[in-house]
Structure formats: structure tokens, C-alpha cells
Amino acid sequence: MKFPCSASALRAAIAGAFLFAGLFPAAHAQRLPKTVIPEHYSLTLTPDLKAATFTGEETIDVDVKTPTNSITLNSLEIKFQSVTVKAAGKEQTGTVSTDVEKEEATFTFPDTIPAGHAALRIHYTGILNNELRGFYLSKTPTQNLAVTQFESTDARRAYPSFDEPAFKATFDITLIVPKDDTAISNTAIESDTPGPGPDVHTIKFGHTVKMSTYLVAFLVGKFDCTSGSSDGVAIRVCATPDKVQLTPYALSVAEWVLHYYDNYFGIHFPLKKLDLIALPDFEAGAMENFGAITYRETDLLLNEKTATVGAKVNVAEVVAHEMAHQWFGDLVTMEWWNNIWLNEGFATWMQTKAIKVMHPEWQIDQDEVSETGGALNLDAQPTTRAIRAKADTREEIEQMFDGISYGKAGAVLRMVENYLGPETFRQGVHNYLIAHEYGNATAEDFWGAQTSTSGKPVDKIMESFVVQPGVPLLTFGEPENGRVSVSQERFYLSPSIKPGEPQKWTIPVCLKTSTGERDCELVEPDTTSIKVPSNAIFFADAGGTGYYRTAYTPKDYAALVANVETALKPTERISLIGDEWAKVRDGKATVGDYLDLVSAVKDDKNAIVLGTALSGVGTIESRIAGTQAEKDELAAWLRTNFSAQYAALPAPAPDDTPGTIELRATLFGVLGGAKDPAVLKESHEIAEKFLDNPASVDPTLGQTALAIAARNGDEDLYNRLVNVYETTHNPQLGEMALRLTAEFENPELARRSLDYALTPKVRSQDAAIQFAIVMSGDKTRPMAWQYIKDHWDAIHPLLTPELGNILVGSTANFCSAADRDDVEQFFSTHKVASAEQGEKHAIERINGCMELRGLQENSLKQWLAARPQA
């Protein structure tokens, strides 16, 4: 599964570490007994799209391990009509008892069911809910659709099942749907016949491979598809009919990626067909249902003529992420949810691996290092968790879908791959998949395969990063006589944290050499020094692939800063910038030291390097600068130091590289944020052209200009954006327009955006994000928070698992004790189910902001006072 990842959504939710937490009745989940094992499901479902209900007929073939007169499985919001069991030639009718808290149903029969094969036959009804989970209703202006989202524990809402990942089985699925609608499921349509009445037809799908319940999918409505193929596999990208023209880009990506994965894994795609389907209402970013991947529309559909570079990268990576799951997660599935990183970490690592080969011009390796920095910062918060953690209840399971399972796990895998070498690591991946295909696996299974393949202690490395939380800090002495001293400790982003028991890791540390080759040494818990290759510059994160922070002697650090543009690769500059910003957060460096490093890279031609450096400046402005005068001085420094770089860039041209396009937009955006008069004027001119004809200007610059114009915009621009949102059939443009309505600094327009979010015109999947964006603005935050409190009864029902935590996480933008206390008090009496961790992290971030301002504001004043006045 991939969480929503549009740029606006991420900016709004930047304070929320745990974006996935369940908004459901408190469920104290209990593992099902292994005395009855499912082997095959035959499902026939008849949805009523007008009444928002469905009926189901189900036969489950099971293997009864020990004689019993009762069978327990998972069920939620299901009404049972009848239950029978047939075993050893005898059929019995059962009674049903349900446990809502455990989400279980128990069927009890008069006589004992003998060991061996038995067939459960169940008739039931259910609801097409509006919670974006289970079997739910999605709507467009012209039709209702019935679609599914079962991960992690919601297949039980659509069909009674042994709804745990280790209970793999095969499926035969039949859907009886309105005669004008079609249906999509995990396999291709085997037959399509009229009836059983005049207004419906019956669609039967082919027999599936063995898979987990949460990977089943069935979608009913009017869909149009664009078709292609790769390596003999039929591929379709589908959408509602009004958007099918936006499917070719994703199809081309899918065709390329499937061939790449076939070769990389050494295992042909397991199914005969693969569908990628865009859904109008979808909570996450995408879901890896085996052979029928579902997506939020903005993560699959785009118009290449009007799409930004970032949108193209995002769609390509989300497509690659979900397709990687077809091997990691679907073919081989984690045994239990505590190892969800085996799914999500692998897919996160694999998505960029595929796309950077497909599009080397996108400089994905720089993105990887930047994203590792985000994971390191998350993992260095006062509270975090191990990659593998307790996950027994629904709420605990949902909270596993976070930046640790995705970002940290993916970064650790990338570090290990760099240590072993790509081909050795690939062979270990192949061996792991072959050993467990169509089955389940644990973390030990994976690192055991890598250890035996490589002959290196991957098990020790992986275990040290998977079973304990936190970030290692490696402190190096000055290199001498071919060696350098090194010590390790746990790093926190706060100097007030008092570490508990000492922690140690087994860490592959790759040092920069004069030839550019990697020279990796293993730092073990008792290591005190390592060999150092001959090189004029000492840098201990060659390529930026390490999952650790580094600290150097003042002499070595000064040499790195002095030679940052000539001695380090772009990926290494990103790593160095991230380490220095972390030291600022921890009080081991001053904000002036960081701004000096930003000055050293101000002429960098890589947008991601510059963007990484400037993101820290943005935090300085919002979290450290305590007065408007300090903010104004910082803005003046930005205008002085970055105007020339922007002016030196050529005018946009059709043959611009993605790097040039992104660099131009990055510089334009930072100058617009710094209120550069020329850029503000230009932003309005470009925004007007873009709104009149999105294809008339470079889309990346056009959307950046429109964002600047919106923050400084008037009612006329606001109304135009609302009109774009309400009338466009392009999801990318529609989401952009909607998000930008929440960026206006004008208080009346900001309030209108909050009112608008509560109308039926804004989908529930988007409403909370709108509130979070308004909460991110210094000028609009107080009004937005009061609005949320005043309208809680209307907002609370919209809070689905991810979105509830995005909203709660947005309160982390506050930076005062009074606001912190107000947030704590409000959520103590207005609970957001399963958002306890989100609230805790928000409070920690408010405390962290107050601490950071106290540590660094004087340093900022001194640094600004020493600069020449603009």
C-alpha cells in the first residue's frame, strides 16, 4: 500500500509521523486458532448500488485439523442468513454467534465435524459503507461504484473469512452486477452471461493463485481501459470513462516496469493479467491487490502535456511501488503484520531502483538520499519504534503503516545492498522469493537468505536495525596512519533527551575514496577504529547510502564545507546537509553553521541538493525566527543570495532537462516565498497564463507560480481555482486547484476554504488534508484551529485512518506552551480513535519547536547581524 503523496498533502502533513492509524471501534484483535485451515473460497456477490447494500453466497473449503463442533473466523458488519457445513458426506446447519469487539463469528453445529475436508456454505448480507474500507461506495456525478480496500483487516467486511495473512487460499469470484456496469477482479473474466434477471448480468472470474484475504479485490461500475502487454502479460490501466484519456502514461510505465522486475527477480510475473485501476474515492495512495491494483486517481492518471516533473515521477514511482508488491507482499507475504516492512520497505526500495533505470535524467538517487534523511529525522524523535514491533490489535496493525515501515526499512535495505554489491543482493532476493513463493515469510527468512548468499553477516546488520529503534550517530576522530577512531551512540533530535540503556548497531560504513570506488568497513558494537582509504577529503557516507548520522572533527568538517561543491557528489552533499541540520536540532551546531553550509551550496545546479538545503532554511523561518523582523531579515538574505542564480537561468524551453526545470521552479519558489517583488509580479503573470491554458507554460513552473500567487491572492483568483476544481476532468489539475484554495493567507478566503471542505463537493478523502494545509500557515493557523474546535461534530465523521492522523499531526505546527496545552486539552475530550500516537508525536514536535527556538534564536540573530544589510 502507498499512502497519499502529493506535494501539498505532504507539506500539510509534514508534522505527522504516523499517517496510518485506524478510525474504527476499539478492537482487541485475537489471532484465529489454527485448528481449521482455509483452502479455497467460492464467492458470489450481488451489490445494490442504489441501496448501498450487497448479498453474498460463499463456500469455504477448509481442512479441519482436529475434530470440532465449532468454527471461528473473522466477520464485521455482516448479517448472516444461514450457515451449513458438509463433511464426510454429512451436512449440518449451524448457529451463529458474533463478537463485535474481536471482529469474529463462531459457527456452532449439533454434531462434531471430523478431521479432514469440510465445506462451509454461508448466505449473508452486508453494507456498501462510506468509510473507504471493506466493500464501499464510491461516487461520481454520473454513477455509483462499489469498490474494495481490504488491507489490513477489512476483507471481513465483505466476506466472512480467515482474515489473517498466513491463511492463504485460492478464490473463485462471481459478481452479479447491473447490466450497464462491468466488473474487475484479481483474474480475467472467464464468462459473462445475462441474468439471473432482466437488469443484471453475471460475471465469473478465473481461478486465482494462492493468496491472502487482504489481496482480494472486486470493483463494480463503468470503467474504460487502455490496454497493452509486457512479457506475455496483458496489462490494462482503467478509469471512469471521463478520464480514460489520462491512462496511457501509467500504461507505458507499467509495461516497462514489469519487464524490469521479471529480469531482476528472475521470476516471471505470477499471473496472466495485471490491471491498474483509478478510483474516484480512495483513502491511501494505492493498494497492491494481486493482479488488480487500485489507485487514488492522482497517483495513476495524468496528462503528460500539463503534468509537472514531480507528478510524472510520483505516478511512475507509485506504479512501480505497487507492482513490486506483486512479488514482495503478494507472491511472498509476511507471516504477520509485525513484519509489514517486508512488504512496504521492499516496495519502497524497489520503486526507485526501477524508475532510476527507466529515467536516469530524473536523478532519483538524490531523491533516495533526501528521503533517507526524512526517515532518520523521524527515527530520531523522542519516541519512535523498531521496524518490527508489536501489532496485535487493529489499531496497532494500522499504525505499522508509517515512515518506519516504509522509509527506514527501505533505507536500511539500500544500505545493505550497497555493502554487498547489487548483484549479490539481487541473488539473495531471488533465493528468498523462490524459497517462499505462494507462502509466508519472516524477517529471519530474508536476512538468512542474504547471509547465506553473500557469506557476510547480513543477519547481524539487519537484526540490529530491525529489532531496536533509533538512529546511530558515528563520531569520528581525525584520520591518522591509515586508521580513524570511531564511536557510536543513539542520536536524538533533542539535547534534552536522556538516553536509556546504551544501544549499539552493526553498521556497514562506506568511506569515500580518491577513485570514487566504495570502501566499506563494518563497524560492530565493539569497534573502536576502522581503516581509512587514501583520500584528500575524509567523508564517511560515500554515495549517501548509510542509515546513520555522522560527526567529524572541526578540521575535517571545515574541509568538507570548503570543498563541498568539488569533492562531494550531489548525493553526498545531501547527506552532509542532513547531518548538519540534525546537529542544529540537537544543539551540537549553530543555525549560523548551517546557514554557512547553505551559502556554500547556493550555486549548486541540482534542484534536490538546493531544495534539501533550503528546506532547513524554511524551518528556520517558521520554527526559530521568533519575530517578524527576524523573518524579514532572513527573507532579505534569501533574495540577496539566490536572485542572481534564478536570473542566470535561461527562459523555459521545450528541450529543458528535468533537472533544469526543477531547479528553475525551486529558485522561483524560494524567491516567491521571500517576497521578491519581481518574482511576485512574474508569478501572477505566469499563473494567469497557466489558468487560461495549462499547456501554454512549463507545468512545473506554472504550478509553482500559481502557489505563490495563491498565497498572495485575492477573491477572483480563489474563485477561479474553485472553478477549475469543480469542472476539470484532470485529477492532477483538480487536486492542485483544491489544495491551493487552502494556501491563501487572506483570512476570509482561508476560512472559505475550511467551509468548502465540509461541503459535499469535497470528497472525504481530501477534507482533512485541506484543514491540515490551512493549519500549516503561520497567518491562518490560529483561525483554522479555532474553526476545527468549533466544527468538530462535522469534521470528526470524515476522519478515516490516514486522514485522522494527518489532521491531528497538523497541530504540531504550533510552537508555544499555551497552544500545546490547548491541543492536549482538546484531544483529551475529543478523541480521534487510534490517533494516540499521532497526538503524542504532535505534542513532542511542539515541545521540540520551543526547545529549538530557545537553543538557536540568539544564534540566528547574531548570524543575521553579521550579514551585510540588503
Q: What residues are annotated to the active site? A: 322
Q: Please state, in angstroms and as integers, the Cα–Cα distance from residue 725 to each residue in 710, 741, 800, following that order.
A: 14, 10, 22
For residues 158 and 126, is the Cβ–Cβ distance under 8 A?
yes
Side-chain half-sphere CA neighbours of 12 within 13 A: 30
CB within 8 Å of 218: residues ≥ 6 apart: 45, 135, 148, 158, 173, 175, 183, 184, 185
214 membership: H or E segment, kind and range: none
The x, y and z cell numbers of residue 513, run together, are 575514496
With residues binned 3-state (H G I as helix, E B as strand, rest as coil), the percentages for the chain, rounded to 5, are 45, 20, 30
Smallest Cα–Cα separation from 218: which of 278, 175, 274? 175
CA distance 184 to 214: 16
E-only strand ranges, 346-470: 439-441
Q: What is the pairing mode between strands 292-296 and 332-334?
A: unpaired
From the number of C-beta atoms within 10 Å of its C-beta (0-12, 13-18, 19+), residue 649 rates as: middle
CB within 8 Å of 587: residues ≥ 6 apart: 495, 855, 856
Q: Please state, in angstroms and as integers, the Cα–Cα distance from residue 730 to each residue in 245, 518, 639, 753, following that order.
A: 10, 45, 35, 21
Look at the alpha carbons of 533, 593, 369, 401 in this order and tell me if their dihedral is positive or negative. positive
CA distance 684 to 692: 12
CA distance 862 to 299: 45
For residue 728, which phi and psi values (nearest 5 degrees)? Answer: -75, 150
CB within 8 Å of 657: residues ≥ 6 apart: 361
Coil, strand or helix at 122: strand
622 membership: H or E segment, kind and range: none
Q: Please state, in angstroms and as integers, the Cα–Cα distance from residue 44 to each residue in 49, 133, 172, 699, 736, following that order.
A: 16, 20, 8, 46, 40
E-only strand ranges, 539-624: 549-551
Smallest Cα–Cα separation from 699: which of 245, 300, 305? 305
Smallest Cα–Cα separation from 374: which of 401, 411, 341? 411
User: What number of other Cβ atoms are within 10 A of residue 777's Cβ?
Assistant: 20
Side-chain half-sphere CA neighbours of 49 within 13 A: 24
